[in-house]
Structure formats: C-alpha cells, structure tokens
Amino acid sequence: MPSNKLARTNDDIQFVLSKLLPQVKDPRVQQGMISVTRVETTGDLRYAKVWLSVLGMRDEKEFKKGLKSAAGWLRRELGNAMSLRYTPELVFEIDHSIEYGAHINDVLNSLDIKHDEDKMSEE
C-alpha cells in the first residue's frame, strides 16, 4: 500500500499523462481512445509503471513501439508539468480489463435468462 504522498504523486502522474497522450504525434500511438487506468511509482520515484487501456487498438505491438519512442518526450513534459526531485522513467503496460469486462457483458447479455419482470407477468 503506497503512502499518501506516493498515492497523490501517482494520481498526479496519471492526470498529466492523460492530458499528454493525445498530443503524441506518432500515428502508432493514436490508434483509438487511450485511458490511463493506473500508475504505480517506485518509492524512490525513479520508475513509474503506467497502465493504459485503448479502445479500438489495431496493433498492440506497434502501439508499444510508438509509446517507447515517445517515452522521452512524455517524460520531459511530465517533468515540466510536475515539480519532482526525479522525473520517473516511464514503463508502459497494456490493461485489457475494460475489454475483458465488455466481453463478459456481451456473454451475459447473450444468455437467454428470464428476468424478474417476466416472472411477475406470468403470475
């Protein structure tokens, strides 16, 4: 469990990156709607693992390559926006939980289950 200061720093990094990612010019990164779902920073603020969810991603491998090439620019802009002793090195991970949740929702909606309303009308 991160300390309050580290949790606030994680939230601030998440907010700043969510504003910066749409400004990345690399077409490999602009594949869909990008959401920063979570940020975890090490205690010494040297590294930050950033989880991204992308709705409408076409090619995950190219997306990661684009993020890696834009990481230096994102880190510099993050350093300009925040006053930290160290600007963390950004490590990006893809978060598939939103896609998985949408899939589970589709599966549940496709089941043929009678709802409570149907039971009430039968009585």
pLDDT tens digits for 8-27?
A: 999 999 999 999 999 998 88
Which residues, 6 or more positions from 96, have their beta carbon under 8 angstroms from its beta carbon? 53
Q: Where are the beta strands (DSSP E) in the chain?
A: 33-41, 47-55, 89-94
Q: What is the pTM of this model?
A: 0.76
| Tens-place pLDDT, residues 73-107 | 999 999 999 988 889 999 999 988 877 888 898 89
Structure tokens at 37: 């779902």
Residue showing tokens 């893809």: 94
Q: What is the pLDDT of residues 29-43, one digit of tens each?
A: 887 788 899 999 998
